[in-house]
Amino acid sequence: MWRCSRLIEVEDLHFTYPNGVEALKGISLSISDGEFVAIMGQNGAGKTTLVKHFNGLLKPTKGRVLIDGVDTRHVSVATLSRKVGLVFQNPDHQLFSETVEDEVSFALKNFGFDEGAINERVEKVLNLLDLIQYRKVSPFMLSGGERKRVALASVLAWDPKILILDEPTIGQDSYQKERLRQFIVQLNQQGKTVIIVTHDIEFVVECEPRIILMKDGKVIADGDAREVLTDLKLVSEASLILPEITQIFVRLNDFGFPRNVISVYEAKQLILERLFWRR
Amino acid sequence: MAVIETSNLTYTYPFAEKPAFKDVNLKIERGEFVLLTGPSGCGKTTLCRCFNGLIPHFYGGNLEGEIVVAGLKPTEHPIYEMARHVGLVFQNPENQLFALTVEKDVAFGLENIGLPRDEIRRRVDWALKVTGIYDLKDRAPFELSGGQQQRVAIASVLAMQPEIIVLDEPTSFLDPLSAKSILEIIHRLNRDLEITVILVEHRLDLAARYADRVIIMDRGQIILDGEPRRVFLDERARLIGVGIPKVVRLYLMLMGDGIDLGRVPLSPEEISESIVEVLTSDRS
Amino acid sequence: MSMFDGLRFRNVSSPIHRIDPRAKFIYVCALFVAAVLFNQLIPLLILLLIQIPLVVMAKVVREWLRLIRGASFFAAIIFIMNVISLYFYGGYPSLASIIEHALAMTVRFIVLVESFSIFFLTTSPDMFGLSLEQIGVPYEFCFAFTTAIRFVPVLAEEAQTIIDAQRSRGLELEGGNIMRRIRNYIPILIPLIVNAIRRSLELAEAMESRAWGASKKRTNLYVLKMGSRDYCLIIVSILMVAASVYVWLFIKIPSITQILWP
Ligand SMILES: Nc1ncnc2c1ncn2[C@@H]1O[C@H](COP(=O)(O)OP(=O)(O)OP(=O)(O)O)[C@@H](O)[C@H]1O
Ligand SMILES: Nc1ncnc2c1ncn2[C@@H]1O[C@H](COP(=O)(O)OP(=O)(O)OP(=O)(O)O)[C@@H](O)[C@H]1O
Ligand SMILES: [Mg+2]
Ligand SMILES: [Mg+2]
């Protein structure tokens, strides 16, 4: 059924903030069930504004947004949030409970889960994110990286069909980033639709999701990571830079190497092949 | 001459059970560009706070050992005196700009010191030009993009004409192109004005090429310290999960397959040159 | 929201913007005195009308109209309250004179709102802080004032983000009894307070790092200097007060009702 495949459908979406800032200027796109998407683009491009439309926090000034076939204007944020879990950039904007456990069960209570189910889910998600030892600890005592994981846990707990992460890698060290990447990829392989909003090009390169590039409230490119992120013109327009590996291959282009290489492993393979072929 | 020197420096925050860092011995020469990195929570920010005396004067706690910065002991001199020698730039641009025009923000420190007005004017204009934001001088900082705001923050410490600038993750909120231009400005300050730079970063891919020296901390201790090309090769750097640039990873992988590219690369330019060299020499 | 926009500084350049804030402040005070002195409709209307050219000159007509629209609700209440109280206690000869008096009170309110609005719309908080400083208010106080103004919009945006974050986790703010509603705000208030504290610590740290408190004699990059135009405005203000006092003491002002139905 078409409904299942087109999970998010955005049609000519315009949005203007009450102060007159026109943050989105005609966006059309659709995201299918089980996709992995990265929304990228410069500061102020409208990425956060766009994803706030997916769970109904913002309603279109013009155009419409359909989630699973339902127009977001006709349902409450709470109803939409059951399907669309949005994790905000800064965990400190949502943490308020006395213990990590309470923090994670907050949403479950709001959504009316019964006590048994709440306990079960809290336990499961805290194990999944390696937070179980902090169960009874105040979230304010944790480090930045850990607070970010608590915020993620508190959304994952109700198992939304679509998971949206706004700037998940800011301030994280590379070990935490690698763990986060594995975790996201795993969720996606289990069938969850995952959308990340980020500037972190090296992080994205390792996930190879579908890329949506935004600039000044418009989508300027939409396609494969390998295709979009190796296009110098698009990438600089979105205030990004080429991935490190691509920068190497752009220079090796004169020697007959392809330009659109983004992964280290592929790079190694190509160079080895060339050398051994020579020999 | 060392511009920063510490010996057995150990610090514990008030009410903390264990020290944030322990027995740090560090010697930084005038004019060096030092990249300081390490896993989250290893004590990088805490160490930076010691350089201008925020620790111990602002944070309290217990500081042991010796520290000398620009010939002064931060423990014995008030922060405002250290501020003339050491400029700190923080991660979040929003919380370090307070005035309602860019120009006024850049003048803030100089006004505090009580310099004559025309001297302030001269230095403010100079700092705005060096950081490339002279055209923005009458705008309100909060109307600017993150990258522009971070330039204002840099200009405002630069105006104090410090010998040392310490930047704590100055690019983490910025998009890559803005981040790159900030790093280029920092590089220029170091190269042209010979200001000592200490840059804290998690993302090494953009910053590594500018550094004379990389210091890696882990759990409150310095575990590696040296020339970037040497430090990145060290097994320990990878084991504690420092974000080694991809060009170095590629270099190491090729090395594993028996291909020696010579010098360790710090940028895509360098590695592609080495690859080209290997390819062409192979041919002959 | 829209009403407060009428008090928020707009950075355009105009002759009114360039006037020294101290002179402008004296003018506002003079207007205030004059408006309080009179309770007849005619002089109050004159005070209202003479400000319109100023608004036009300052290029803030749109914001100013928005403010008047925002204030009209309060103006209506003042009008109705006056009519009712005068009707029962006033001993006024006719309904027309009651209405005239109530109208006068309403116009007085608008004149007061309007004069402050012109002041705040055309004076940057920086300049205002600076003029406070130059009339001898301690610098710490002036700094606190401008910083507060600088961070109000930031905090408002932060509050919105927090509300959004909690609504995304199923928090519903409407509905339920009073106790329930108060409870609903806890998940918003706690992060708001925690973040405000964290932010102020970061600000303090940044201030300290930039030599806050280094010297007793702080220099200021800008100095305000009164020009001839500013002195003119001050003289006009003084004359206005003097004239008002004179009229108030010696001239019997007719009411419109008397003119129409003698
Ligand atoms: N609450 C708000 N009120 C008014 N304008 C806003 C608000 N939030 C964002 N804007 C404006 O809308 C535009 C888009 O902002 P948005 O936060 O969606 O950008 P973004 O792409 O997420 O940027 P960043 O990478 O900095 O997070 C910007 O010009 C911003 O100033
Ligand atoms: N103000 C403070 N009071 C008490 N403890 C603190 C304070 N700031 C940091 N700490 C603790 O000191 C240790 C070192 O923290 P620090 O912020 O220096 O790490 P960092 O290397 O800068 O990490 P990150 O990369 O996440 O910024 C951590 O265990 C942290 O919890
Ligand atoms: Mg955003
Ligand atoms: Mg830090």
Which of the 8 DSSP states describes residue A18? T
CA distance C22 to C137: 13
Helix axes C21-37, C95-122, angle to 10 degrees: 170
Q: In this complex, do C11 and B107 lie within 8 Å of one another by their Cβ atoms?
A: no
3-state secondary structure of A118: helix
Sheet holding A70-71, edge to edge: A22-32, A6-16, A62-67, A70-71
Asked if residue B26 has its Cβ within 6 Å of ligand 2, the reply is no
Q: Chain A: nearest CA to B269, how far in angstroms?
A: 7
A27 lines ligand 1 (CB under 6 A): no
**Contact flag A144-B40 (C-beta cutoff 8 Å):** yes
- Residue B117 tokens read as 């007005």
The reported pLDDT for the residue numbered A278 is 64
How far apart are the C-alpha atoms of A215 and A235, rounded to whole Å? 10
Tens digits of pLDDT across chain C (262 residues): 344 555 566 667 788 888 888 898 899 999 989 998 888 888 899 888 888 888 888 888 887 888 888 888 888 998 998 888 888 876 777 888 888 888 898 999 988 888 888 888 888 888 888 888 888 888 888 888 888 888 888 888 899 999 999 999 999 887 777 888 888 889 999 999 999 999 999 999 999 999 998 888 888 888 888 888 899 999 999 999 999 999 888 888 777 777 777 6
Of A199, A267, A274, the CB nearest to B279: A274
Nearest CA to ligand 1 atom 25: A43
d(CA A127, CA A135): 10
C222–B contact, CB cutoff 8 A: yes
Q: Return the structure tokens found at C147.
A: 């910083």
Beta-carbon contacts of residue C126 (< 8 Å; ≥ 6 apart): B99, B100, B101, B104, C146, C222
Pocket of ligand 2 contains residue B13 by CB under 6 Å? yes
**Helices and strands in chain B: count of H runs, count of E runs:** 11, 9
How large is the ipTM?
0.91
pLDDT at site A89:
93
Per residue in A60-86, pLDDT tens? 999 999 999 999 999 999 999 999 999
Round to whole Å and give the CA distance between B139 and B106: 12
- Amino acid (1-letter code) at residue B129: K
User: Å from C76 to nearest chain B CA?
Assistant: 36
Question: Tokens 């507060």 — which residue?
Answer: C148
Q: Supply φ then ψ for residue A213, to 5 degrees.
A: -95, 135
Ligand 1 near A45 CB (within 6 A): yes
B65 contacts B23 by C-beta, under 8 angstroms: yes
- pLDDT over threshold 80, residue A165: yes
Rounded distance between C-alpha atoms, residue C44 and residue A134, angstroms: 68
Domains in chain C: boundaries: 1-123+227-262, 127-223
How many CA within 13 A on the CB side of residue C35? 25
Chain C residue whose CA is closest to A80: C168
Best of C158, C203, C210, C217 to mutate (most B CBs within 10 Å, chain B):
C210
Binary contact (C187, A96; C-beta < 8 A): yes
Structure-block tokens of residue B41: 């929570």
On chain A, the residues whose CB falls within 8 A of the CB of C162 are 93-94
Distance (Å, whole) CA B192 – CA B197: 12
Q: Does A78 touch chain C (CB under 8 A)?
A: yes
What confidence tens digit (pLDDT) does each residue in B138-156 have? 888 888 888 899 999 999 9
The percent of residues in chain B predicted with pLDDT above 90, rounded, is 80
Q: What is the pLDDT of residues A90-132, one digit of tens each?
A: 999 999 999 999 999 999 999 999 999 999 999 999 999 989 9
**What's the CATH fold of domain A6-239?**
Rossmann fold (3.40.50)
Helix (H, G, I), strand (E, B) or coil at C85: helix
Helix/strand/coil percentages in chain C, nearest 5: 75, 0, 25
Atom of ligand 2 nearest to the CA of A143: 31
User: CA A62 to CA B21: how far, in whole Å?
Assistant: 55
The whole-angstrom separation of Cα C112 and Cα C122 is 16
Q: Does A188 touch chain C (CB under 8 A)?
A: no
Contacts of B50 in chain C (CB under 8 A): none
Q: How far apart are CA A129 and CA A172, in angstroms?
A: 15
- Residue B216 near residue B37, CB atoms below 8 Å: yes
pTM of the model: 0.88
Shortest Cα distance from C18 to chain B (angstroms)? 15
| Kind and range of the H or E run holding A87 | strand A84-87
DSSP secondary structure code for residue B89 in this structure: E
Q: What is the DSSP letter of A254?
A: G
Best of A239, A254, A261 to substitute, by most chain B Cβ atoms within 10 angstroms, is: A239
Q: Which residues contact A67 (CB under 8 A, 6 or more apart)?
A: A7, A8, A9, A54, A55, A56, A80, A83, A84, A162
Pick from B78, B43, B88, B72: nearest CA to B57: B78
- Whole-number pLDDT of residue C191: 95
Asked whether B212 and B32 are in contact (CB, 8 A), the reply is yes
* Domain boundary assignment for chain A: 6-239, 243-279
Q: Are C66 and C3 in contact (CB under 8 A)?
A: yes
Ramachandran category for residue A170: left, alpha or beta (phi over 0 → left; psi -120 to 50 → alpha): beta
Per-residue model confidence as pLDDT tens digits over B82-96: 999 999 999 988 899
DSSP letter at A57 equals S
Asked if the bond preceding A243 is cis, omega within 30° of 0, the reply is: no
Q: Which of B254, B48, B246 is nearest to A174 (CA)?
A: B246
Residue A243 to residue A254: CA distance in whole angstroms: 19
Distance CA C129, CA C148 (A): 11
* Tokens at A130, concatenated: 């390696």
Tokens of B125: 């204009």
Share of chain B above pLDDT 70, in %: 99
Nearest CA to ligand 2 atom 12: B20
pLDDT band at A2 (very low <50, low <70, confident <90, very high): very low
Contact B208, B267 (CB under 8 A): yes
User: Ligand 1: which atom is nearest the Cα of residue A167?
Assistant: 27
Task: Give the Cα separation of B186 and B197 in Å (integer).
Answer: 8
**Encoded tokens for A261:** 């290489």
- The two structure tokens encoding residue C9: 């500084």
Contact A175 B250 (CB under 8 A): no
Q: What share of chain A is helix, strand, coil (3-state, %, to 5)?
A: 45, 25, 30
* Best probe residue, ligand 1, of A49, A165, A167 (max atoms within 8 Å of C-beta): A49
> Cβ contacts of residue C97 below 8 Å, gap of 6+?
C255, C257
CA distance A97 to A106: 8
Four-CA torsion A46, A48, A52, A53, nearest 10 degrees = 30
Supply φ then ψ for residue A144, to 5 degrees. Answer: -55, -45
By Cβ distance, the residue of B146, B240, B272 closest to A252 is: B272
| Separation between Cα atoms, residue B111 and residue B117, nearest integer Å | 8
Q: Look at residue C4 in the predicted model and tell me its pLDDT.
A: 52
pLDDT digits 0-9 by tens, B168-182? 999 988 999 999 999
Residue A48 Cβ < 6 Å to ligand 1: yes
Contacts of B147 in chain A (CB under 8 A): 43
Partners of chain B (3+ Cβ pairs below 8 A):
A, C
Which residue, by CA, sits nearest to atom 14 of ligand 1? A46
Q: What one-character DSSP code corresponds to residue B26?
A: E
Q: Which of A180, A134, A173, A169 is nearest to B43 (CA)?
A: A173
Q: Is the CB of B241 under 6 A from ligand 2?
A: no
Query: Which residue CA neighbors atom 14 of ligand 2 most closely?
Result: B43
pLDDT of C3 reads 46
Chain A hits for C187, Cβ within 8 Å = 94, 96, 106
Residues B227-232 have a mean pLDDT of 93
Neighbours, chain C (3 or more CB pairs < 8 A): A, B
Q: Which of C158, C167, C187 sits opposite A77 (nearest CB)?
A: C167
SS3 A263: coil
